[in-house]
Amino acid sequence: MKVIDQIREYFEGNSPVFFANLKTHVWLSSFSMILAMLVCIPLGIWISRRLKIANYIINAINIFRVIPSLAVLALAMPLLGVGFAPAAAALTLLAGPPILINTYIAFREINPAVKEAAYGMGMTPMQTIWKVELPLALPVMLAGIRTASVEIIASATLAVLIGGGGLGSYIINGVSMMSKSYLLIGAVPVAMLAILSEIAFSLLQRKTNYSH
């Protein structure tokens, strides 16, 4: 009960601070996710048509899957300084691999006969991508986006170490002060955001599967 009382006392006097940190965390995660999608989805489609260089690009981006999140954040600091920009750049790099790989796999698995049929109907390559290939590839792509979203939300807690702000400040302070209340104030919302993201993308993925 002592921990619950401490949490209640914190919110009674500091709820604006909490919601500001929550807003920063959501904005940082969302911005990084959108940026990763804008870069990696077109790149994934592009390399799905160029097998000779696909493996090189995939192996290169896979490096960021084995480097710890904190190390990626630390590497961003000398280049971009501290604050929102290096945190967003690092999180974008962390989100890239699952989005790129799933996009590549999704488009590679499309039956060539389907594309040939689209070309036979007079569609241009771009029309074929948008009207035929993308709807077929979407379920696999969403699986990668779902994985990336959970990774970003969790890793964004470390952004506070380079001045990115967010809910990670409560977790870092909780560890340094050995405060269970601070740990819970930071960890529970992060877990809830990750779960909500997982559920939302799972439902969207299921809907696209049913539409086929």
DSSP string, 149-206: HHHHHHHGGGGGGGT--STHHHHHHHHHHT-HHHHHHHHHHHHHHHHHHHHHHHHHHH
How are the residues of the chain apportioned to helix, strand and coil, as percentages rounded to the nearest 5? 90, 0, 10
Domain that holds residue 114: 2-211
- Nearest-CA neighbor of 26 among 198, 156, 195? 156
pTM of the model: 0.87
Cα gap 152→28, rounded to integer Å:
9
Residue-by-residue pLDDT tens, the chain, 212 positions: 688 888 888 888 888 999 999 999 999 999 999 999 999 999 999 999 888 888 888 888 877 777 777 677 777 777 777 788 888 988 998 899 999 999 999 999 988 888 888 888 888 888 888 888 889 999 999 999 999 999 999 999 988 888 788 898 999 888 888 888 999 999 999 999 999 999 999 999 888 876 55
> At 179, which CATH number?
1.10.3720.10
User: What is the number of domains present in the chain?
Assistant: 1
Q: Which residues 6+ apart lie within 8 Å of 26 measured at CB?
A: 193
